[in-house]
Amino acid sequence: MADALDLPGASSMQKMSTRTFRQKAQEFLSSRKYANNLVDIISQWDESSSSCLLTIETIFVEVLKRGDMFVEQTITLTISEPSPERRYINWLRNCYEEVWEKILLSIEKSRPTVQLQALTTALKLLAQEGKTPLEPTGTLGYYLPLHRLKPILMSLLSPEKDNINLINRFQEIAGYSDALYYTWKCLPSLTPKRQPREIYIKNLLELIDKLPLPKDTDENEICENKQLLCGSNGVATNCFTWDQASVRRSLNKVWACVMHWELTPQLHKQLLIVLLERVMPHLEKPILLTDFLMDSLDADGPIGLLALQGVFLLVTKHNLEYPNIFTKLYSMFEPEIFHTKYKARLFYLSDLFLSSTHLPEALVAAFAKRLARLTLVAPPEDILIILLFVGNLLLRHPGLKRLIDHPQGGELISEEGTGTGDPFLMEERDPLLSNALLSSLWEIKALQWHILPSIATAARFIREPLPSVEYDMASALERTGGHMFDRELRNKVKDIMLTFERPDSMALPKGDRLLQYWQLTSIH
């Protein structure tokens, strides 16, 4: 046993093969006389290979299962030389700590494939150590080693390297209630109050986006979920409890720091997405976001649009008063919106904003007219959405039917220079001053002669009786090109037709024009 404990005396070896790694691991686990095999394996640690990681994982998962490193905490009154058994356990635990340092280093600095394997190994060791701790935990059967989880999270939240692939892999343990709970509990201590680096902010937002935070109504369902990362069958399952209030406090602490950081436009957009889709329903005082969202509204492009959704939630669910919201919404309908990723979100939110039948007709008329004018430059798929949108506005406000065929306004200037012209002021920022009620929807009438039959047919609604039920904007937006393309990509293709005739030789299929000029022959 003395040789096994003599680390400096271990013989240096050449690079091992995968088969040698496996053989040495089996020998080590079968008998203590092969203890030096572990030293040889650790000495072969290579940041460019996963073989050593897989071998280490196999060894220590089994060692933890067998309890070979478990130590009972006893009080000794006399100082004496440790027994050979205790020396072996201490040596084994020192190797285990050394392995953890190397795993964390591999997560941070190795190439991507090795990083993923190192993270997987770390999570498996963490799970097994939770089931079979190294020491008595003092609990009634459940234990998760936070001193292992926290360094893993620190490696994921690197301030120097974009770890989106690692965070996607870490997301796999989010299905375990205990791992998800303690991850949220660790995050406040890992979130700095001072301005961090951009890479750190990006990694933190990615991690928050990948960690589901159930709603309060789902708390009972979480408590009934018996799938635990570190729980074993039996009493351990019943000892873990999900504390929803504690998790929400952790999230609010993290977000209180995030909101004070300076952000680049890209990070600003990413933060708004995470805020709207993950965080906002769980904030204790969402109304405190008012200043941030108002400042974000002044930004152009996706940032202003995403902030608009946040303001909409504050207005509808938290009674925020924002009198200029319609003016801001009106200003967002510019030709550039058709070239952004979030245009469907704008149409959907606008339909909700303008759903009230108590809005002034002059305001709604300005939106209808501006949308109609944009059809002259919009892509075909967006023209169809705009036509449905305008149709909904006419249904909600019957008085706007005067825009369909206004008796005095909306005439185009002829080539001879006669005519009154369109009184609508497209450049006016205030919708109430745009003179929309004096104009007409001649743009939609013009679309009845569009080159695309689908658009021409859709535009004919303006000369027919309007339907009694509003158009479903949500389903219409799902049928747009981008959504259809994404949906088709997710469909699994079961069979792909490569040829219409099964080839039975090297000859070309029958009837091929090439046969008239060439003949394929095989050379023997």
- What's 283-304 look like in SS3? CCCHHHHHHHHHHHHCCCCHHH
pLDDT at residue 12 above 60? no
For residue 189, what pLDDT is reported? 95
| Interatomic CA distance for residues 183 and 224, integer angstroms | 19
For residue 476, what pLDDT is reported? 64
pLDDT at residue 492 above 70? no
Range of the domain at 168: 144-216+243-284
User: Does a structural domain hold residue 510?
Assistant: no
**Could you tell me how far CA 414 lies from the centroid of its own chain?**
54
Residue pair 241/185 in contact (Cβ under 8 Å)? The answer is: no
| Interatomic CA distance for residues 311 and 322, integer angstroms | 8
Where does 35-138 have alpha helices with state H? Answer: 36-43, 51-66, 84-109, 112-131
Share of the chain above pLDDT 70, in %: 77
User: Does a structural domain hold residue 78?
Assistant: no
Q: What is the pLDDT of residues 339-374, one digit of tens each?
A: 887 788 888 888 888 888 888 999 999 999 999 999
User: Does a structural domain hold residue 508?
Assistant: no
Q: Which residue has the higher pLDDT, 423 or 5?
A: 423
**What value does the mean pLDDT take over residues 281-292?**
90
Identify whether residues 360 and 467 lie together within a single domain.
Answer: yes
Of all helices (H) and strands (E), which one includes residue 477?
helix 473-478
Which residues are within 8 A (CB) of 339 and not within 5 positions of it... i.e. 6 or more apart? none
For residue 465, what pLDDT is reported? 77
**Tally of residues, the chain:** 524
User: Does a structural domain hold residue 303?
Assistant: no
User: Does a structural domain hold residue 47?
Assistant: yes
| Interatomic CA distance for residues 173 and 100, integer angstroms | 19
Q: Encoding tokens for residue 66? A: 């067998």
Identify whether residues 89 and 185 lie together within a single domain.
Answer: no
Angle between helices 244-258 and 198-210 (to 10 degrees): 150
| Interatomic CA distance for residues 143 and 124, integer angstroms | 15
Q: What is the pLDDT of residues 428-450, one digit of tens each?
A: 999 999 999 999 899 998 999 99
For residue 77, what pLDDT is reported? 46
Identify whether residues 368 and 271 lie together within a single domain.
Answer: no
Query: What is residue 305's three-state secondary structure?
Result: helix
Q: Encoding tokens for residue 295? A: 């400042």
Identify whether residues 250 and 358 lie together within a single domain.
Answer: no
Identify whether residues 376 and 394 lie together within a single domain.
Answer: yes
Query: What is residue 516's three-state secondary structure?
Result: helix
User: Does a structural domain hold residue 377?
Assistant: yes
Residue holding tokens 């009184």? 423
| Interatomic CA distance for residues 310 and 306, integer angstroms | 7
User: Does a structural domain hold residue 89?
Assistant: yes
Of all helices (H) and strands (E), which one includes residue 481?
helix 481-490
For residue 501, what pLDDT is reported? 61
